[in-house]
Amino acid sequence: MTDTQRITGVLSPVVTPFKADLSPDPERFVRQCRWLLSQNVGLAVFGTNSEANSLSVDEKIELLDRLIGAGIDPARMMPGTGHCALPDSIRLTAHAVKLGCGGVLMLPPFYYKGVSDDGLFRSFAEVIERVGESRLRVYLYHIPPVAQVPLTLGLVERLLEAYPAQVAGMKDSGGDWSNTQAFLDAFAGGGFDVFPGAETFLLQGMRHGGAGCISATANVNPAAIARLFDSWRNGDADAQQARLDQIRGIFAKFPMIPALKAAVAHWGGDAGWATVRPPLVALTAEQSRALVAQLDAAQFTMPGLRA
Amino acid sequence: MTDTQRITGVLSPVVTPFKADLSPDPERFVRQCRWLLSQNVGLAVFGTNSEANSLSVDEKIELLDRLIGAGIDPARMMPGTGHCALPDSIRLTAHAVKLGCGGVLMLPPFYYKGVSDDGLFRSFAEVIERVGESRLRVYLYHIPPVAQVPLTLGLVERLLEAYPAQVAGMKDSGGDWSNTQAFLDAFAGGGFDVFPGAETFLLQGMRHGGAGCISATANVNPAAIARLFDSWRNGDADAQQARLDQIRGIFAKFPMIPALKAAVAHWGGDAGWATVRPPLVALTAEQSRALVAQLDAAQFTMPGLRA
């Protein structure tokens, strides 16, 4: 069950750039992904922080094709492929596997609430079976604050039993360490990789058998987060974690996705990056100034971002 | 602002039939829509109870085209066209207008939670402007228990001010009469039609200037609900409402969408109708028997449904 090419480490739910007309901007996207890889961070494109659910399946396929066309290694990619509608999840997942992506991060269908584990099992099972690829690696995406559809230990157990080769792990964005630990205790080490959904739990996760983290702020602070992953057994690990928490704490004072984009716009010297798709709204000029001022005061920079 | 062809009355969020392979079944769909029209009920296809969010945009376009191809009057149709992703909402809305649909029922983008009225305004505004059709009639869809993204009085006021011709009304599925009444008090009579999201509030709604209702159980009890709409000023209106509530109360004891389909399967003599798409699950045989037994005991039937 242990793949030689298993994705581990720190991944970024890559923010998606939009042009002034709100269409996705593949050139900026390719540049940003190249920069993140240069910072030792993998590409969880089409995550929550990517505004993935504000993109059509066609737009996501086009962006993925552009990354591959630009020579970016698909083994470093874990695109989000879970949608409300089964055919959408199947279509994007099949496309990602065909391109050789190292894994896919799969939201449960998230419109209907209060659905049963039977219904969720069947949702994931239909995608896995209809994609029908032995090299598919699914990472289940638990993010109850947003999706409002949680994934339980019992559901993961059933999925692992039915599809031990395909069900490769999960991202836990619940923000509740006791839940992450319960999944680590139950499944880590058995070929099921648990990624906390923020670097806040990176060190704690690694000490309990975690596989890394997939975090919003890996978009802006990638090298430092990746360094803790690489050196979590070192004596300065707690100090590194505290520094990561300090930077994340500043971003967390603002609406996260617009704040990430404002930081990329500022340190990248590219104002167009601040654009978000509705229903999100960009930071106000005042919010952007406050964010940058607080990050400046904390000696934060984004080295190598500016072209 | 008063259109001659404004949709009023009772509409059904038409349940969507699936074949054994879970693909939509256009033949059964056309038959069901014809039957509903014969019962004096309009077609709010692709609503929550239609499992619309479990269908891809392509599947919805195909089903809509099949209804039109079968000669069903688009003026009686109010398809749901709101998606998480702006291009999806634009594409389906534009298609519905092109086909001549009397209106569209538009969910807000529902993945991101806690979004601002500014962001929601911009979402609806982008769809209206990019579709760019003067004959577009948008009905805003307020369903916080499921979408978890409520629509406020202030948002509706802004939309009405910006797009008085296109913003035609709303469906309120919040289940809270005081909210429905607040929208009726603020906007009814000014060319903004408020449809309660269940016949539970049909009589109360009509007495406060409502336009009808759009209700799950109009799939199974259409004629009786439509009769109350037509005769709500009559002396037996309260007795009619009580009878409607009795039938709805039986369905409400079960998971609603599978229960509606189980009833159509039973009274239509067509077991295939019971199929739902994941993440929903069909009623168990025991649940179906209990549903039918309770409806039989209440002298419920679905006249004319069986082919």
Provide φ and ψ at B10, rounded to 5°: -105, 130
* Residues with pLDDT less than 50, chain A: 1
Q: Between A and B, how many residue pairs show a Cβ–Cβ distance under 8 A?
A: 114
Give me the interface pTM, i.e. the ipTM.
0.96
> Looking at beta carbons, which residues of chain B come within 8 Å of A130?
none
Q: How far is A55 from chain B (nearest CA, A)?
A: 5
pLDDT tens-digit map of B108-158: 999 999 999 999 999 999 999 999 999 999 999 999 999 999 999 999 999
CB-nearest partner of B59 from A57, A87, A110: A87
Return mean pLDDT, chain B.
97
| Global pTM value | 0.97
Give the pLDDT of residue B110: 97
Give the pLDDT of residue A140: 98
Q: How far is A86 from chain B (nearest CA, A)?
A: 6
Q: Which DSSP state fits B222?
A: H
Give the pLDDT of residue B3: 60
Q: How far is B5 from chain A (nearest CA, A)?
A: 31
Is B148 touching A (CB cutoff 8 A)?
yes
Give the pLDDT of residue A1: 42
**How large is the average pLDDT for residues B178-197?**
95
**How large is the average pLDDT for residues B162-178?**
97
Is B20 touching A (CB cutoff 8 A)?
no
User: Does residue B78 surpass a pLDDT of 60?
Assistant: yes
Give the pLDDT of residue A3: 60
Provide φ and ψ at A254, rounded to 5°: -120, 165
**How large is the average pLDDT for residues B8-20?**
98
Q: Which of B19, B23, B54 to probe the A interface (max A CBs under 10 A)? A: B54
Give the pLDDT of residue B1: 42
CA distances, A304 to each of A35, A37, A112, A269, B190 (Å): 8, 12, 43, 11, 57
Q: How far apart are CA B43 and CA B46, in angstroms?
A: 9
Hey, what amino acid is at A137?
R
pLDDT tens-digit map of B237-264: 999 999 999 999 999 999 999 999 999 9
Confidence of residue B189 (pLDDT cuts 50, 70, 90): confident
CB-CB neighbours of B183 under 10 Å: 24
Tokens 């109870």 label which residue?
B49
